[in-house]
A and B are shown apart, each in its own frame.
Chain A
């Protein structure tokens, strides 16, 4: 019995098909696949904007003499009469770049897209537990983005205190123009964004726990689903803490409280606030902020697991170890936040504890890297663009992660804290690595999203330019950091110790522009393929998971019954099997030639699986 037959038997059922209006189908849709695409395209637009901002401030750093008066028609007063970027605008650019990339692109764009798209399709559900909440989740995100976008056009500019918005800078309008209305809108936007994350997160968790199809036990979940589940739990626990920090900051800004303010003399007057602590804000912020970097990277690791296994034609190595290490990373991510604060004057003993806990994270991370490499070992590798980006993701994750071991060491952090070493570190390990996870996912699941294929050759060129470009940007950035260059500096000519290395900054800027330019290959490929790509077959990568058993589905995902699941998702190149993959929907009873002795025991379970309820919301697709 072949794979196709198992799936096709559903096609015989015909049923009513009522058309939704354009608005309900494409705009206020409750279909998880449409919502996923909404997240993806919104994320792509934000990414273009966010990276453009970084190119602007890279020009300032790499070519401080450049005449930018030609940007005046767009940026107006932010460019001085002599064609220079205003220092305040520089900080606004840095802040907006960080905020947009971390929250809107790598959190919403990555998790929002793939959790939404893959959870129901990979666990065998018609849709999310609550399609309505899911829709709200997108629209809260949309409004959050709209408010942030509007803030960029204010007279006083958007928030400009760094994406970490440390008070008192962010709390006092006197301290910086960006701390006025720009900051208010930043806080409102992020509050709405958190609401969006919570609505999404509750949905993801509920769906994964309750709506798995029959036979889909936790030990048969693809690693991508495990990563989305763990990510959603992290978000659910940590985002409310950021919300509380933002609320307290709003109180300090607008209602005269002193949660984060104490003994301040600014603008010629001594403020009456006493007893607050700016450090308290940092504790609250990083209690989200640190799990946040894992919220960004875990989905990328999950996607990479799927893609590497499929394209190596091998089971993922150490399935259980992969889950255990993700759980370990997730747990540890909550108790390491203060390694961002070694030099804030907090108790040095606390610093020692946080150093110890931080360095432990290296162990589960290393396990993941080794497992990916072993998965490729003695495989039969297909270099689809998705596979290339996954390999690149592992490389970036390892290279960037290793410097984290240095920064997590409080004694070494004294010199390196808030230098470009930190910037280089986190851009590699969480920025670039997560972006590679996103690219990998888009290339891999594009056929299922749009029913079309993306161009492979363009994808491969896109990979090589981006991969090499990123290393050209961030390896030299480590050097600049070791030389002691501080972050968020408008220019480096004020100091002797930073006047020495300027050609390296020029090089980094050129590499950044080069890499940015390469992304237009992706944009071209993505948008033309939606309309003009070749029609995708049902299972182009010959993959085992459930989403490949349905053909460009409408709402409800499967025509007819939802398939049942009989095996784990990584039966690639199983000895004795005819094909080099066996989908999860194929019972062991029909594959006696490839069964291990332990598999034969599972044949007895098949009857039991088939007698279970479907957990089907609609009973049929519609």
Chain B
């Protein structure tokens, strides 16, 4: 890469010298007697040959740089739908490389081949309906194939989540994510209301709903089970954000006032990925891809994919929100107080 940079700089210097040379020529040679239209001369030939050079050099450069970069492409997919869209992506890329090469080559080749020659006359060739029909139909058919394959994948990915999906809420704020789980007992997310948000209750959990009593939140890690559908319920607190999990091929905007969702099946645990990539420090990451202010580039959350057993163990080790902040017991309506208090008390007892 450094070599390439040096080369580029060298080329720039040489070209700059050429330009400087030309500039002096221009300033001196402002000769009003030269008349136009003038016969295309040597410069026309040079430019024509440049196009031929461009085909060769361009082809080599694109192929080389492409191969050089392959190791960085599409980080290893770890979800079922992710591998499907990856396949579709490479299929589309492969297919589109053909017109990319053909069209550019034809364009530059014709530029060279039909360069001006003295005494030659261009062909008067204003239309050919059959040809036009062909090159309207061929792209149309190719597009139809791409639309159909894409449509099928898209409708499968965006279909309703399976019944047994693990439901987890993720909320974006300036500048971080907060995960909320349904809790160890009912595993159901309680209601929320944005007006209940405060410094502790960051996602506005509504404690008049009894399913919220065992909910717990986590601001730094999102744990999910492997090989089981996970449904992310996505919210935003302040401005737009977007949940992006590159390895899972997951992306969905977080919109204040309009909950969104995305479900997927992760099929490689963090441990498996570490082994597969030979990188003991590997972590799945969640990023934000909708500009949300100056901390946009640092809204990181770590995603931990683990087997069912350690997932359940992790869940059991988490404290319900009510236990961490028992003062929120005040928000619980009188008739449910006993139930809620039981949570707080029981948890407190077991922890000791």
- The residue in chain B whose Cβ has the minimal distance to the Cβ of A580 is B121
Q: Is the CB of B96 within 8 A of A405?
A: yes
Q: Is the CB of A412 within 8 A of B89?
A: yes
Q: Is the CB of B122 within 8 A of A317?
A: no
Q: Is the CB of B255 within 8 A of A412?
A: no
Whether A4 sits at the interface, judged by CB under 8 Å, is: no
Q: Is the CB of A263 within 8 A of B106?
A: no
Minimum CB–CB distance from A59 to chain B (whole Å) comes to: 15
- The residue in chain B whose Cβ has the minimal distance to the Cβ of A266 is B238
Known: A262-B257, A263-B257, A410-B154. A383 touches B110 (CB 8 A): no
The CA-CA distance from A172 to B99 in the complex, in Å, is 46
Minimum CB–CB distance from B27 to chain A (whole Å) comes to: 8
Residues of B within 8 A of A455 (CB): 22, 26
Q: Is the CB of B252 within 8 A of A343?
A: yes
The CA-CA distance from A362 to B194 in the complex, in Å, is 44
Contacting residues of chain A (453-486) with chain B, CB-CB under 8 angstroms = 453, 455-458, 460-461, 464-465, 468, 471-472, 475-476, 479, 482-484, 486
- The residue in chain A whose Cβ has the minimal distance to the Cβ of B115 is A381
Q: Is the CB of A506 within 8 A of B65?
A: no
The CA-CA distance from A111 to B303 in the complex, in Å, is 49
Q: Is the CB of A418 within 8 A of B88?
A: no
Q: Is the CB of A348 within 8 A of B150?
A: no
Q: Is the CB of B125 within 8 A of A378?
A: yes
- The residue in chain B whose Cβ has the minimal distance to the Cβ of A88 is B294
Residues of B within 8 A of A195 (CB): none
Whether B100 sits at the interface, judged by CB under 8 Å, is: yes
Whether B323 sits at the interface, judged by CB under 8 Å, is: no
The CA-CA distance from A416 to B250 in the complex, in Å, is 10
Known: A175-B293, A317-B125, A488-B296. A411 touches B107 (CB 8 A): no
Residues of B within 8 A of A472 (CB): 8
Indicate which residue in B69, B135, B197 contacts A366 across the interface (CB closer than 8 Å): B135
The CA-CA distance from A276 to B238 in the complex, in Å, is 13
- The residue in chain A whose Cβ has the minimal distance to the Cβ of B33 is A534
Q: Is the CB of B44 within 8 A of A382?
A: yes
Q: Is the CB of B110 within 8 A of A319?
A: no
Which of B115, B158, B174 has the most chain A CB within a 10 Å cutoff?
B158
Q: Is the CB of A471 within 8 A of B58?
A: yes
Contacting residues of chain B (126-178) with chain A, CB-CB under 8 angstroms = 126-128, 131-132, 135-136, 139-140, 143, 146-147, 150-151, 153-155, 157-159, 174
The CA-CA distance from A275 to B257 in the complex, in Å, is 8
Per-residue contact bits, chain A 373-412, to B (CB 8 Å; 1 contact, 0 not): 1101111111100001001001100110011011001111
Residues of B within 8 A of A492 (CB): 297
Minimum CB–CB distance from A50 to chain B (whole Å) comes to: 19
Residues of B within 8 A of A45 (CB): none
Residues of B within 8 A of A363 (CB): 136, 139-140, 143
Known: A262-B258, A373-B110, A488-B291. A479 touches B123 (CB 8 A): no
Whether A489 sits at the interface, judged by CB under 8 Å, is: yes
Q: Is the CB of A570 within 8 A of B126?
A: yes
- The residue in chain A whose Cβ has the minimal distance to the Cβ of B126 is A315
Known: A321-B132, A414-B251, A528-B26. A362 touches B197 (CB 8 A): no
Residues of A within 8 A of B34 (CB): 534
The CA-CA distance from A511 to B1 in the complex, in Å, is 13
Residues of B within 8 A of A202 (CB): none
Whether A536 sits at the interface, judged by CB under 8 Å, is: yes
Determine, out of B207-215, B218-226, B279-287, the stretch whose residues face the partner at the interface: B279-287
Residues of B within 8 A of A383 (CB): 40, 43-44, 47-48, 111, 115-116
Known: A383-B40, A511-B8. A166 touches B257 (CB 8 A): no
Known: A415-B85, A573-B122. A406 touches B37 (CB 8 A): no
Indicate which residue in B16, B104, B146 contacts A409 across the interface (CB closer than 8 Å): B146
The CA-CA distance from A410 to B92 in the complex, in Å, is 13
The CA-CA distance from A409 to B93 in the complex, in Å, is 12
Residues of B within 8 A of A160 (CB): 294
Per-residue contact bits, chain A 493-506, to B (CB 8 Å; 1 contact, 0 not): 01111001101101
Determine, out of A353-361, A430-438, A549-557, the stretch whose residues face the partner at the interface: A353-361
Whether B253 sits at the interface, judged by CB under 8 Å, is: yes
Residues of A within 8 A of B125 (CB): 314-315, 317, 374, 377-378
Q: Is the CB of A458 within 8 A of B240?
A: no
The CA-CA distance from A417 to B12 in the complex, in Å, is 34
Known: A315-B124, A381-B48, A575-B124. A168 touches B239 (CB 8 A): yes
Known: A356-B151, A483-B72, A540-B36. A344 touches B255 (CB 8 A): yes
For chain A, the bracket of interface size reads 35 or more
Q: Is the CB of B150 within 8 A of A414?
A: no
Minimum CB–CB distance from B95 to chain A (whole Å) comes to: 9
Residues of A within 8 A of B30 (CB): 532-534
The CA-CA distance from A339 to B13 in the complex, in Å, is 43
Whether B31 sits at the interface, judged by CB under 8 Å, is: yes
Minimum CB–CB distance from A214 to chain B (whole Å) comes to: 24
Whether A149 sits at the interface, judged by CB under 8 Å, is: no
Q: Is the CB of A351 within 8 A of B154?
A: yes
Residues of A within 8 A of B259 (CB): 345
The CA-CA distance from A416 to B251 in the complex, in Å, is 9
Residues of A within 8 A of B43 (CB): 383, 456-457, 460
The CA-CA distance from A377 to B153 in the complex, in Å, is 41
Residues of A within 8 A of B140 (CB): 363
Determine, out of B183-191, B241-249, B311-319, B330-338, the stretch whose residues face the partner at the interface: B241-249
Contacting residues of chain A (81-124) with chain B, CB-CB under 8 angstroms = 86-88, 91
Minimum CB–CB distance from A550 to chain B (whole Å) comes to: 16
Q: Is the CB of A345 within 8 A of B253?
A: yes
Q: Is the CB of A458 within 8 A of B19?
A: yes
The CA-CA distance from A540 to B34 in the complex, in Å, is 12
Per-residue contact bits, chain B 13-25, to A (CB 8 Å; 1 contact, 0 not): 0011011001101
The CA-CA distance from A568 to B8 in the complex, in Å, is 47
The CA-CA distance from A539 to B37 in the complex, in Å, is 7
Q: Is the CB of B285 within 8 A of A495?
A: yes
Residues of B within 8 A of A458 (CB): 19, 22-23, 26
Indicate which residue in A169, A373, A380, A507 contacts B121 across the interface (CB closer than 8 Å): A380
- The residue in chain A whose Cβ has the minimal distance to the Cβ of B99 is A402
Indicate which residue in A279, A359, A534 contacts B32 across the interface (CB closer than 8 Å): A534
Residues of A within 8 A of B85 (CB): 411-412, 414-415
The CA-CA distance from A453 to B32 in the complex, in Å, is 10
The CA-CA distance from A501 to B75 in the complex, in Å, is 12
Which of A447, A484, A510 has the most chain B CB within a 10 Å cutoff?
A484
Q: Is the CB of B256 within 8 A of A264?
A: yes
Minimum CB–CB distance from B21 to chain A (whole Å) comes to: 10
Known: A169-B239, A380-B121. A373 touches B107 (CB 8 A): yes
Q: Is the CB of A537 within 8 A of B296?
A: no
The CA-CA distance from A86 to B49 in the complex, in Å, is 47
Known: A168-B256, A497-B75. A373 touches B44 (CB 8 A): no
Residues of A within 8 A of B122 (CB): 312-314, 378-380, 572-573, 580
Per-residue contact bits, chain B 285-317, to A (CB 8 Å; 1 contact, 0 not): 101111111111110100000000000000000
Residues of A within 8 A of B116 (CB): 380-383
Q: Is the CB of A377 within 8 A of B110?
A: yes
Indicate which residue in A345, A352, A376 contacts B252 across the interface (CB closer than 8 Å): A345
Residues of B within 8 A of A268 (CB): 199
Contacting residues of chain A (149-172) with chain B, CB-CB under 8 angstroms = 160-162, 166-169, 172
Per-residue contact bits, chain B 63-91, to A (CB 8 Å; 1 contact, 0 not): 00110010011110000001001001100
Q: Is the CB of A318 within 8 A of B298?
A: no
Whether A367 sits at the interface, judged by CB under 8 Å, is: yes
Known pairs A168-B256, A363-B140, A494-B300; list 13 more (Cβ under 8 Å).
Answer: A91-B294, A278-B257, A314-B122, A374-B128, A414-B85, A418-B290, A461-B15, A490-B297, A496-B283, A501-B69, A510-B8, A524-B23, A575-B124
- Sampled A-B contacts (9; CB under 8 Å): A161-B291, A166-B240, A263-B194, A266-B239, A315-B126, A360-B143, A461-B15, A465-B15, A503-B1
6 cross-chain pairs, A with B, having the tightest CB-CB distances, nearest first: A262-B257, A345-B260, A348-B158, A383-B47, A411-B153, A409-B150
